[in-house]
């Protein structure tokens, strides 16, 4: 007689179990990365890429919370800049990255709420401009 009543995982079920465990791990990983993006445009830190063709800030408009930072990354092969284009919100400090070489990153922290317009000096004539909305 067979008294083995304890449930064992059959060799056929094992890959399925592994697949379930793996998908749970993958999903929790994806959720952790994707959820801040779904939480809205107001993040404590956002990344803006600077591209050559077209000469642009991508995305051109971002929103952050006061005290948050924006990281600009020059992903192109040309020089770009992040230069405040006044008028600025009252009490806000001006900012200028200077010329950023390809691959360079520049960060600015925004401590005064309001709307900031900025441009890229080498490509201002091509309309390379952006906007940062800093919310309370």
Question: Which residues are near Cu ion by CB under 5 A?
Answer: 55, 80, 120, 122-123, 128
By beta carbon distance, the residue nearest Cu ion is: 120
83 versus 110: smaller Cβ distance to Cu ion: 83
Q: How far is the CB of 99 from Cu ion (least distance, A)?
A: 9
Triad 34, 58, 112: Cα angle to 5°: 85
130 CA to centre of own chain: 15
Q: How far is the CB of 78 from Cu ion (least distance, A)?
A: 6
First to last CA, the chain: 74
Q: How far is the CB of 124 from Cu ion (least distance, A)?
A: 8
Region at 127 (left for phi over 0; alpha for psi -120 to 50; beta for the rest): left
49 versus 65: smaller Cβ distance to Cu ion: 49
Instruction: Please choose, from the candidates 69, 67, 64, the residue with its C-alpha nearest in 3D space to the C-alpha of residue 39.
Output: 64
Contacts of 51 (CB under 8 A, 6+ apart): 58, 75, 76
Residue 106: CB atoms within 10 Å = 19
89 versus 102: smaller Cβ distance to Cu ion: 102
Q: How far is the CB of 89 from Cu ion (least distance, A)?
A: 24
114 versus 122: smaller Cβ distance to Cu ion: 122
């Amino acid at each position: 007689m067979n008294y083995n009543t304890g449930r064992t995982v059959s060799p056929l079920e094992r890959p399925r179990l592994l697949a379930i465990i793996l998908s749970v791990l993958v999903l929790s990983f994806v959720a952790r990365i994707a959820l801040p993006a779904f939480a809205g445009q107001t993040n404590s830190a956002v990344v803006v890429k600077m591209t050559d063709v077209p000469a642009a800030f991508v995305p051109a408009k971002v929103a952050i919370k006061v005290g948050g930072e924006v990281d600009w990354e020059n992903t192109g092969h040309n020089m770009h800049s992040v230069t405040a284009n006044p008028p600025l919100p009252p009490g806000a400090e001006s900012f200028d990255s200077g010329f950023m070489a390809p691959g360079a990153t520049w960060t600015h922290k925004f401590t005064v709420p309001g709307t900031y317009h900025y441009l890229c000096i080498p490509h201002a004539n091509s309309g390379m401009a952006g906007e940062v909305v800093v919310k309370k």
